[in-house]
Structure 1
Amino acid sequence: MRELVGKVAVVTGAASGIGRALALRFAAEGMTLMLADLDYGGLAETAALAGDAKVLTQITDVSDAAAVAHLADRCFGELGAVHVLCNNAGVYQGGHMWTRTEEDFAWVLGANLWGVLHGIHEFVPRMIEQGTEGHIVNTVSVAGLFAVPGAGAYAVSKHAALAASLALAQDLAAVGAKLRVTALCPGAVRTRIADSARTRPSGLAATPSQDEADSLDQVGRAAESGIEPSDVADLVVAAIREERFLVLTDQKYAARLRLQTETLLTGDLPSYQ
């Protein structure tokens, strides 16, 4: 899908970070935008920054199937089509595997996995029916490739998001659809990932633990020294045009992935360094 001008892009998690950068990059390409998030103020700021682009916004909890269905209905009803879908909304949950509660997993899987699955279910059939070229971008994270200490719940959700992306891409290819898929696997990016709890529903509240606090501190420091979200957005637009499935924000991850595979094939535990 090389031509983006005049096309429609949907971005979840668009109030800040990578989502905002994607929205602004698509706006610069001349696309019409449907932006979704739980943060009303941040969503309005992104829309204002999009300049002359046509922008619709909607408060959406991607973990809620009905909310995503409503988002899709509005997109196709008011904009007539969707050509790029970015299932980008996500949250971070730190802490050891054995200290994470059912509420922790429900929250992180709700956003990071079910948000992707709901997006696929509600948008992809209608995108196929359009009969036009299109692209689905799922924000996975390098945590979907590597599991590191202190981030088990997050890694579980992101490994599952990668599997969903692979399965979607294979299914689309098998039926001859004109849609392509990108699994976006960024490392450290200057976002508010360490402040994910600001969107956590009160019904899934949990008492913070020290291991969780330590993980959040580490992730926050990594984000501060990470790349700019706009750099990630540039990589995504290039991947859409080149129909590339896997996008890494640092080529050191490619070498690390090869080493991990080789280590696993020997039956050993890969190093997280």
Structure 2
Amino acid sequence: MTDVAVVTGGGRGIGAGLARALSDRGHHVVVTDVDGAAAQRTADVLPGPATALPLDVRDPGAHRAVALAAADLGDVTVWVNNAGILSTAAAWDATDDEVTSTFEINTLGLIHGCRAAVDVMRRGDILNVVSLSGLGPTPGLAVYGASKAAALSYSQALHTELGGARRPIRVRALCPDAVSTELLRAVAGRPSSALLFTGPRVLEVDEVVAAGIAMIGSKRQLRVLPAWRGWLTRTQSVLPGFARVVTPAVARIGERRRPGA
């Protein structure tokens, strides 16, 4: 039976890269995106069989419809929850729409995707593209980081529950630092995005794709890219007083590196 992989947010960036890598591995890839035309463009250039479907990840019923369509094509063995949005603002400046959309897409969209995947998968891997910001407080990205922290917590709990139920489905959580995508470029002009530029460099899409693909079929449930940035972010959670003093100084470094600053 044909192995099928579903990728959400596959119209561009990391999602398109993961779709290509999964196609290279022999999967029939179901490329989904809220922008159906973008999903079709990705599907059209894949080396193997592909199907493009529009998907608004905020809609649980739409997830289930995609899952059933994918199951009709073969054995769904990989499901990638990649769709997400990035917003930066001081915690008190985020608009109602920003808060609602961020959680609906980054958190609930991932949860709906996982639930739909579990409904149709007999075995395989769910890869959730989360974020370094989900590992600890990220000033300037308070709402975004909180949405990703919830997504990470859900991913880890689901992984454990599936193991307890003896279902051969593993849930992987990939937490990359800032990646050179349209999402990052869209917020780079905001001073509140400074922490995104505090690393030595911004990651390339291909690096994140390679890390995600390497997790599939492995024993690794969580991967932070780069690993040392994960330890630094976690420190802010366990030493909040230290973080309150040091983080503004670190943010100033990012402000100097921020494009257009």
Tell me the TM-score normalised to structure 1 length: 0.81
8 Å Cα contact 1:138/1:183 also seen in 2:
yes
1:156-175 matches, cutoff 5 A: 156-175=146-165
Q: Equivalents in 2 of 1:246, 1:13: separation in Å?
A: 21
Match of 1:188 in 2: 178
Tell me how far 1:44 sits from its aligned partner: 2.3
Tell me how far 1:136 sits from its aligned partner: 0.6
Shift of the 41–126 alpha-carbon distance from structure 1 to 2, 3 Å rule, reads: closer
CA RMSD of aligned residues (A): 2.6
Tell me how far 1:126 sits from its aligned partner: 2.4
Q: Equivalents in 2 of 1:217, 1:156: separation in Å?
A: 17
Match of 1:201 in 2: none
Match of 1:246 in 2: 222
Three-state SS of the structure 2 residue aligned to 1:14 is coil
Tell me how far 1:222 sits from its aligned partner: 7.7
Match of 1:59 in 2: 54
Q: Equivalents in 1 of 2:243, 2:195: separation in Å?
A: 23
Tell me how far 1:123 sits from its aligned partner: 1.7
Q: 1:237 aligns with which of 204, 213, 223?
A: 213
Three-state SS of the structure 2 residue aligned to 1:120 is helix
Q: 1:154 aligns with which of 144, 152, 156?
A: 144
Q: Equivalents in 2 of 1:28, 1:222: separation in Å?
A: 34
Tell me how far 1:226 sits from its aligned partner: 1.9
Three-state SS of the structure 1 residue aligned to 2:92 is helix
Shift of the 122–36 alpha-carbon distance from structure 1 to 2, 3 Å rule, reads: same
1:65-80 matches, cutoff 5 A: 65-76=60-71, 78-80=72-74
Tell me how far 1:193 sits from its aligned partner: 1.1
In structure 1, what residue type is equivalent to 2:224? L
Tell me how far 1:246 sits from its aligned partner: 0.8
Tell me how far 1:137 sits from its aligned partner: 0.8
8 Å Cα contact 2:3/2:74 also seen in 1:
no
Shift of the 25–222 alpha-carbon distance from structure 1 to 2, 3 Å rule, reads: farther
8 Å Cα contact 1:182/1:243 also seen in 2:
no
Tell me how far 1:185 sits from its aligned partner: 0.2
Tell me how far 1:196 sits from its aligned partner: 6.6
In structure 1, what residue type is equivalent to 2:66? L
Tell me the TM-score normalised to structure 2 length: 0.85
Q: Equivalents in 1 of 2:42, 2:202: separation in Å?
A: 21
8 Å Cα contact 1:194/1:217 also seen in 2:
no
Work out which structure has the larger RCO, using CA pairs closer than 8 Å and 6 or more positions apart in sequence: 1
- 2:93 aligned with 1:99: yes
- 2:3 aligned with 1:13: no
Match of 1:200 in 2: none
Match of 1:123 in 2: 117
8 Å Cα contact 1:22/1:233 also seen in 2:
yes
Q: Equivalents in 2 of 1:97, 1:174: separation in Å?
A: 38
8 Å Cα contact 2:236/2:242 also seen in 1:
no
Alignment gaps of 5+ in structure 2:
251-261
Q: Equivalents in 2 of 1:247, 1:21: separation in Å?
A: 18
Shift of the 80–28 alpha-carbon distance from structure 1 to 2, 3 Å rule, reads: closer
Number of corresponding residues: 246
Q: Equivalents in 1 of 2:85, 2:185: separation in Å?
A: 9
Shift of the 179–38 alpha-carbon distance from structure 1 to 2, 3 Å rule, reads: same
8 Å Cα contact 1:23/1:35 also seen in 2:
yes
Alignment gaps of 5+ in structure 1:
198-211
Match of 2:192 in 1: 215
Three-state SS of the structure 2 residue aligned to 1:27 is helix
